[in-house]
Structure 1
């Protein structure tokens, strides 16, 4: 297989970077498939929960879908906790970073902040501030994030809830991740 000529980026040629750009675009076009594969492996749970991480995600997405949310918001609900596995201390920022090029500012902000907003439901039991979200009270997406947490996150740990399968959401994930990125070079 052909390789670039450089060992330091500063020594790369235009031809090197055109060659890499072609491969990077091909790789990026398969992001949805990699995400779906990763999601399908979330069959275990953090000890103590009644449902797996995958089931929590499916319940969140199913609730958003049944509530008539946009494809983008359904996918955001599906992926909002994708960071739990690799970034448990900042899972929402991790998920938001994955979604950022493909979703609106509003959806990105909701996913990015949902970790702080969900503290409303439990922080006081652990000696924390359940009203941490109030520091964003004047933000234009404050209520949207409150609603997201209430409707799609905090209530999606039910082992008896009949969620739609991951295969149902594949076309939506592929659609969202096939969009022209909101941000580019």
Structure 2
């Protein structure tokens, strides 16, 4: 079943007002800022959608469909159904990508917000050397790292953001390319 444009717009707009773990932005602005970073980077439509929807597992409809799963995994299930395996893997790995970056980039930890530092502890802390090797060997690892970095930067209440219309246009182009 194809996700309609209207349903996608409702999902994204439905994130408005949802708190984002003590950050200065709500879930909707966070999503649209992450998508903006992907678009500015020149990401293809699937990457822009993955960046925008990386936390869609926090949307009520998605939580209800996949109850009990962490947001990155319910978001990945949503993406697998409506976008494809590449977007699903990137969304599923945006949390492990934080663990990867903490283990491989000495300056990365200092860039994390206090809320992200707190969640890192719950998420398992830095990856082990074996986990780093496994993560880095995936063909979409670099894209998951990019989404992670955009996730970290998408917390500015006055920062640039995609319009929902831009997300829908990316979705239309993505569907047309399949």
Aligned partner (choices 122, 127, 130) of residue 126 of structure 2? 130
Q: Looking at both structures, which has the greater relative contact order when contacts are Cα pairs under 8 Å and sequence separation is at least 6?
A: 2
**Contact preservation (8 Å) 1:102, 1:177:** no
- Matches of residues 112-131 of structure 1 in structure 2 within 5 Å? 112-119=92-99, 120=102, 121=112, 122=117, 126=121, 128-131=124-127
Partner of 1:48: 22
Greater shift in the superposed pair: 53-62 or 122-131? 122-131
Partner of 1:100: 80
Q: Which of 1 and 2 has greater Rg?
A: 1
Aligned partner (choices 1, 4, 7) of residue 34 of structure 1? 7
- Matches of residues 151-166 of structure 1 in structure 2 within 5 Å? 152-166=150-164
Aligned partner (choices 166, 169, 172) of residue 170 of structure 2? 172
Whole-Å separation in 2 of the counterparts to 1:124 and 1:163: 24
- Normalising by structure 2, report the TM-score: 0.71
Name the one with the larger helix percent.
2
Structure 1 residues 47-103: Cα deviation after superposition (integer angstroms, max 9, x where no partner): 521001000000000111111110111111111111013268511122222222454
Alpha-carbon distance, 1:105 to partner: 3.6
Alpha carbons of 1:125 and 1:101: their partners in 2 closer, same or farther (altered >3 Å)? Answer: closer
Aligned partner (choices 50, 68, 71) of residue 76 of structure 1? 50
- Normalising by structure 1, report the TM-score: 0.68
Task: Tell me the matched-pair count.
Answer: 152
Q: Structure 1, unaligned stretches of length 5 or more?
A: 1-27, 181-185
